[in-house]
């Protein structure tokens, strides 16, 4: 990708982050921009790192492993559905696993992380919108999930993540973000062992400004930085 275009995109997203934060009286520094590099070539990722981005997101473990190998100094976030047979490869390479979305996976991470005497930092993925196509724990099952975590020693939940439905007008997903934020605040006030609400991961290219206005501390942005992806993903 052309470096001047990349640089312009990065500055533009950073400026939009800043404006959205200031609009609601937040400190822009509270917001971590995770650059989503799925399908993006490693040379471009290296350029983005050189231009100041330090957090990158991948939705496939294989791609995360390959890019982590080239750029281990960056923080790699796993944002896509994690299959149990890939847990082993993701552990220790992922700074944060955003996609803890089912109890079976928590048990599996416990087993694998336990074997390495390692604690895996995760976000609980919540299916706020209730769309059948989306993974994530249903809102009314979140508390039970968090209570059950007290039985695990190698899985820590450091926040919540959601993927909003695709919409034409980002205002349509504001209630989704607002609901996740409210859940985040409620959990923060309770004390569950192995749970510490630090991160609220919500907002992508289509809706990150609204997500910031509603309290996101991590936004996951791909297309606004790297352009439209060729393949899906």
Ligand X SMILES: *Cc1c(COP(=O)(O)O)cnc(C)c1O
* Site for ligand X contains 135 (CB under 6 A): no
Contact window for ligand X (CB under 6 A) among 5-13, 62-70, 187-195, 220-228: 220-228
* Site for ligand X contains 90 (CB under 6 A): no
49 contacts 10 by C-beta, under 8 angstroms: no
* Site for ligand X contains 222 (CB under 6 A): yes
Max Cα–Cα distance, the chain, nearest Å = 50
* Interface size with ligand X, residues (CB under 6 A): 13
| Burial of 97 per CB tally in 10 Å (0-12, 13-18, 19+) | buried
Helices within the chain (DSSP H only): 3-23, 42-50, 61-70, 87-90, 103-115, 142-148, 174-189, 208-213, 223-226
Q: How far is the CB of 126 from ligand X (least distance, A)?
A: 13
Q: How far is the CB of 220 from ligand X (least distance, A)?
A: 4
3-state secondary structure at position 52: coil
Query: Which 37-66 residues touch ligand X, going by CB under 6 A?
Result: 38, 59
Q: How far is the CB of 59 from ligand X (least distance, A)?
A: 4
Of 15, 37, 44, 66, whose CA–CA distance to 221 is shortest?
A: 37
* Site for ligand X contains 80 (CB under 6 A): yes
3-state secondary structure at position 55: strand
* Site for ligand X contains 205 (CB under 6 A): yes
Task: Map tokens 């982590």 to a residue.
Answer: 68
* Site for ligand X contains 221 (CB under 6 A): yes
Q: How far is the CB of 38 from ligand X (least distance, A)?
A: 6
Query: Which 149-168 residues touch ligand X, going by CB under 6 A?
Result: 163
- Please report, as ranges, the residues that interact with ligand X according to CB under 6 A: 36, 38, 59, 79-80, 163, 204-206, 220-223
């Amino acid at each position: 990708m052309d470096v001047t275009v990349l640089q312009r995109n990065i500055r533009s997203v950073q400026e939009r982050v800043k404006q959205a934060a200031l609009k609601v009286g937040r400190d822009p520094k509270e917001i971590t921009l995770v650059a989503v590099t799925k399908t993006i070539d490693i040379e471009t990722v290296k350029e983005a790192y050189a231009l100041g981005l330090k957090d990158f997101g991948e939705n496939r473990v294989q791609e995360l492993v390959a890019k982590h190998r080239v750029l281990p100094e960056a923080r790699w976030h796993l944002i896509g559905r994690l299959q149990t047979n890939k847990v082993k490869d993701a552990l220790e390479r992922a700074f944060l696993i955003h996609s803890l979305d089912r109890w079976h996976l928590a048990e599996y991470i416990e087993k694998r992380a336990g074997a390495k005497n390692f604690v895996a930092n995760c976000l609980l993925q919540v299916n706020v919108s209730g769309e059948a196509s989306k993974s994530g724990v249903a809102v009314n099952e979140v508390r039970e999930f968090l209570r059950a975590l007290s039985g695990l020693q190698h899985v820590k939940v450091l926040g919540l993540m959601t993927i909003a439905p695709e919409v034409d007008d980002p205002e349509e997903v504001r209630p989704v973000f607002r609901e996740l934020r409210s859940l985040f605040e409620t959990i923060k006030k309770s004390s569950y062992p192995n749970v510490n609400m630090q991160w609220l991961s919500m907002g992508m290219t289509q809706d990150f400004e609204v997500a910031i206005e509603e309290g996101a501390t991590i936004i996951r942005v791909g297309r606004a930085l790297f352009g439209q992806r060729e393949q899906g993903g």
